[in-house]
Chain A
């Protein structure tokens, strides 16, 4: 694999800029609420603070609790290597890397859920059970969208899909984007599915799983969450913006960054305008995402 310099630059950019996204979303929510809101770089400060702190481990937890954050971040970093996140080709690209990408996300979810169960508290179990339930329904939607992309692009590798001669356009594009946006919100536990900054453990999903982590572990987890947002956002962005336009040439990184920040803003807007869905209504939304992707497949 000839790894050009641009791919490495994109990889580094992603690592650096990922924590910005949550900051932007919180800033947009604050703006809508008439508040000034915390600084966009708040997550950077938190990370620096957490990495400097000690840690408190629950007496009930064991080895898996400590392995959770580490393995989850490792999986996300590997997923980043496969995703052409910077506007050019990705570090590693081969037939079927979209499958590996999906299953790396599944691996990070797997170890986070196990870490939550290891705390021995009923809240950890509750969060884990809901997380597993929603991701089981989100998975088919994600794969159906990938199928649509693969069918249009005639190949099933991210690079070839994004740089393909005839990208997805027209109604199929809209349908796939809608589906992927719903999956983006579900996977990153944004508002319609889960409220990231709620205080009532009974309602949390993602937050309650990481409730017991502290110090450097919590830093790794928050950084992982930001990275995950970047990854899934990159897919939506690379599809939405009219890159390449059939030439298959490299797209300017600046345009890509603008796109991903715009996506963050859109997510912030959605979060400000909607309240959390009732738990029993969430599966309906995920199924609608699958329907959208299926419709896209039919149409294209």
Chain B
């Protein structure tokens, strides 16, 4: 049970917490912990100063900056969290199913390490959060988790990507969630709520004569 196994398990546990969390604050804290764990995972590779720099940046962005930004946006919008499409208990069952699928998938692709299973599970969890939660905040967090999953998958690959690409990747994720935060702030101010299920004005559905 070396440290990296532990970190992978932490990532998986955070996903479960995310899927089952009912309040936004819990989800933000879970995402922060997962960000930190992913940052530390960077040390799996042979340690060079680029790796150190990268993991420090990851931890700084995912564990510190995002939670702070999302909390500010959340307080300003004073929006209450609408009930998700899928009940909290039922989402536990879905979590289990998703974990089963990701383990089966990692065996099927004969890369059966816990990190690989964890990566697939995080990607699926990210999808689940985006699709099942109605509030724009949770969708932003869902995207963050999805991104983390893909990043973890990258970590699990034998050959490491060049540093420039990793940096670019991180910058993009940062910009994405940064703009999402601002957008959520404006939506909650404009619509007095951030419930994306109610905001569906752009549609071709009105019946024609």
Any A–B CB pair closer than 8 Å: no
A residues whose Cβ falls under 8 Å from a Cβ of B: none
Identify the B interface with A (CB < 8 A): none
